Amino acid sequence: MRIVTQTSSAFAIYNARLVLEGAVVENGWLSVENGVIRDLGEGNLPEALIRDSFTSIDAGGQWIFPGFIDLHIHGGDGYEVMDGTVKAIDAVGRFHATRGTTGWLPTTLTAPIDALERALSASHEASLRQEGGAQILGVHLEGPFISPDKCGAQNPEYVIPPSIELLERLTGIANGLVKKVTIAPERDGALEAIRWMSSRGIIPSIGHTDGTLAQTLAGVRAGARHATHLFNAMRGLHHREGGTVGAALLSDDVICELIADGHHVDVDVMKLVYDVKGREKLVLITDAMTAAGKPDGEYKLGELDVIVEDGVAVLKEGHNLAGSTLTMDAAVRNMVRLVGVNPWDAAHMAALVPARELGLQDRKGSVAVGKDADLVMMDESLQVVATWVAGRQVFQR
């Protein structure tokens, strides 16, 4: 991969297929100044931009998507958030930028409290630096307040009951950076913790749970409006008991994460979920672990041993799926090619829905005048050609 740094603060892209919120503008152009989209349109690049000394970039008819926002990343390129170092978190952000991700939430695992504190401190420090990769928009705590019966690839040794006192401690370390917490709503103390998070602008996300439909709906009423990797590590849908999945699908307020790799959720089920939830209530995530971007082999997910074969990561012991090697560009391709959604709807689920959840929709999530120039150029086969974060080019193929 080629990491680049663009020096010009004013540039224009023309001869592009602009993916807007509800349509594609063929032969489109846009201009960027000081990291923000200044203007856009269709047809030839305006002469005024040339006179104003804008650097011009010919897209050659390729796509311009909004930068993808991934709410659930554990690692990539051989590094992991739980390494607990700024170096590792910077490396993960740089790698995912090469796959079109311009904003992300470093995601922790169920682990010893001191390990969580190190990961949170490193994430906070890295967020202040923003070293040439995807921008850190918050942190996602995936555990430790989960069900011991639905750990998935989480270490059951470190599962603990929900605790507001511990939430205050952990969120304080990250200085307001914690934006999302996965929690099992059926656990004692969970509803109080969900209310506490919701009142502070933290997304309580239902996940790693054995909750019944009724228990899950109680969590929704308490303020949980998100479901962590739908179907995976949660009580499934049964015709006599709707379970967590049934509650998430039935609840209009709940936005469901989808790992769109065809392994975590079958393609036909992905189509069913899209038909039920639609583009407004689905968010594409990767759940990427250390092996994303690396060859098959043996890796770690926290303290647990993982084997990757044909790009699928499973625990060495038990063979549970252990995160993924998915990247956001591949998730978008899969939604377009396998599920049959159009490019702007795929972009909506990969960019605008997560931006809205984070309260950043006025700045991020779509190609629009006045928004940050978080942009991805993709070729005809939807492979990433270049990535810009706030107008700064951080990758070029």
- Quote the pLDDT of residue 50: 72
Asked if 161 and 51 sit in the same domain, the reply is no
In Å, what is the CA distance from 148 to each residue of 183, 207, 234?
12, 12, 11
The answer to whether 340 touches 350, Cβ cutoff 8 Å, is no
Q: How far apart are CA 93 and CA 90, in angstroms?
A: 5
Number of domains the chain is built from: 2
Question: In the sheet that 203-206 helps form, which strands lie side by side, from edge to edge?
Answer: 139-142, 178-183, 203-206, 226-227, 255-259, 282-285
Taking the C-alpha atoms of residue 295 and residue 291, their distance in angstroms, rounded to an integer, is 7
For residue 6, is pLDDT > 70?
no
Query: Residue ranges of the alpha helices (H) in the chain?
Result: 47-51, 86-97, 113-129, 164-173, 190-199, 213-222, 243-250, 267-277, 328-334, 343-347, 353-357
* From 3-12, 173-182, 325-334, the region with the lowest mean pLDDT: 3-12
- The pLDDT of residue 361 is 98
Give yes or no: residues 74 and 49 share one domain: no
Rounded CA-CA distance 385/378 in Å is 5
Is 287 among the catalytic positions?
yes
Range of the domain at 383: 10-65+366-396
Among the listed residues 104, 231, 204, the one whose alpha carbon sits nearest the alpha carbon of residue 146: 204
CA–CA distance, 164 with 381 (Å, rounded to integer): 47
CATH of the domain at 328: 3.20.20.140
- The CA distance from 215 to 12, in Å, is 52
Rounded distance between C-alpha atoms, residue 235 and residue 263, angstroms: 18
292 and 150 within one domain: yes
Q: Quick one: pLDDT at residue 43?
A: 95
Question: Are residues 16 and 109 both part of a single domain?
Answer: no
Do 42 and 85 fall within a single domain?
A: no
Do 336 and 371 have their domain in common?
Answer: no
Collect all residues with Cβ–Cβ distance below 8 Å to 138 and sequence separation of at least 6: 105, 177, 178, 179, 180, 358
Mark whether 55 and 173 lie in a shared domain: no
Q: Is 3 within a domain?
A: no
Is there a domain that residue 48 lies in?
Answer: yes
- Report whether pLDDT(4) > 80: no
Question: Residue 125 domain-assigned?
Answer: yes
Cβ neighbours of 240 (radius 10 Å): 5
Q: Mean pLDDT across the chain, nearest whole number?
A: 95
What band does 2 get if pLDDT is binned at 50, 70 and 90? very low
> What pLDDT, on a 0 to 100 scale, did the predictor assign at position 1?
43
Q: Are residues 295 and 234 in the same domain?
A: yes
Are the C-beta atoms of residues 138 and 176 closer than 8 Å to each other? Answer: no
Instruction: Find all residues with CB under 8 Å of 294, minimum gap 6, and list them.
Output: 77, 78, 308, 325
pLDDT at 52: 74
Catalytic residue among 83, 210, 287, 345: 287
Residue 382 lies in a domain: yes
CB 317 within 8 A of CB 300: no
Alpha carbons within 13 A on the beta-carbon side of 393: 22
The string of pLDDT tens digits covering residues 121-151 is: 999 999 998 778 999 999 999 999 999 999 9
Domain co-membership, 350 together with 370:
no
Task: Judge whether 5 lies within some domain.
Answer: no
Asked if 156 and 245 sit in the same domain, the reply is yes
User: pTM above the 0.85 mark?
Assistant: yes
Are residues 215 and 249 located together in one domain of the fold?
yes
Query: What per-residue confidence (pLDDT) applies to 309?
Result: 95
pLDDT category at 214 given cuts 50, 70, 90 is very high
With contact defined as beta carbons under 8 Å apart, do 390 and 3 qualify?
no
Whether 167 and 116 share a structural domain: yes
Tell the burial category of 339 from Cβ atoms under 10 Å away from its Cβ (0-12, 13-18, 19+): buried
Q: Quick: pLDDT tens for 259-318.
A: 999 999 999 999 999 999 999 999 999 999 999 999 999 999 999 999 999 999 999 988
| Residue 4 placed within a domain | no
Percent of the chain with pLDDT over 70: 98
The answer to whether the beta carbons of residues 116 and 170 sit under 8 Å apart is yes
pLDDT in tens, 69-88: 999 999 999 999 999 999 99
Residue 8 has a pLDDT of 56
What CATH code is carried by the domain that includes residue 45?
2.30.40.10
Find the mean pLDDT for residues 170-196. 96
| DSSP label at residue 279 | G
Answer yes or no: is 180 within a domain. yes
Considering the domain boundaries, does residue 299 fall inside one?
A: yes
